[in-house]
Amino acid sequence: DAEITQSPRHKITETGRQVTLACHQTWNHNNMFWYRQDLGHGLRLIHYSYGVHDTNKGEVSDGYSVSRSNTEDLPLTLESAASSQTSVYFCASSEADVDEQFFGPGTRLTVL
């Protein structure tokens, strides 16, 4: 069955370190998204991509970057982790012309 996976599921890192969160989907979807989820803020869009080599900034993109070298993967990189980036991160994908997003299981990131 097609699916979307995230790794790692849990990560603890230190302030200033570079961290990369992986997202992999097997639906062959063109659209991929990264969100962060924090208490009191719901889900907020970090970055999104409409296809290979396409990336766009979302509402809360500062301190994050993404790259799309193939259809299946959209890794999220925190260049220099900060405590304010402690959160749960969700990756999602959708077909180009259908707006139902399929979410991964999430990555809980703690920055000490």
Partner 1 sequence: LAKTTQPISMDSYEGQEVNITCSHNNIATNDYITWYQQFPSQGPRFIIQGYKTKVTNEVASLFIPADRKSSTLSLPRVSLSDTAVYYCLVGVSAAGNKLTFGGGTRVLVKP
- 20, 22, 27, 57: residue in contact with partner 1 (rule CB under 8 A): 57
- 44, 63, 65, 75: residue in contact with partner 1 (rule CB under 8 A): 44
Q: CB-hemisphere CA count at 13 Å for 82?
A: 6
> Strands 10-13, 64-66: parallel, antiparallel or unpaired by DSSP?
unpaired
Show the site string, 59-98: x = touches partner 1 by CB under 8 A, - = not: x------------------------------x-x-x-x--
- Cβ–Cβ < 8 Å for 3, 91: no
> 74, 66 in Cβ contact below 8 A?
yes
> What are the residues binding partner 1 (CB under 8 A)?
31, 33, 35, 40-45, 48, 50, 56-59, 90, 92, 94, 96, 99-106
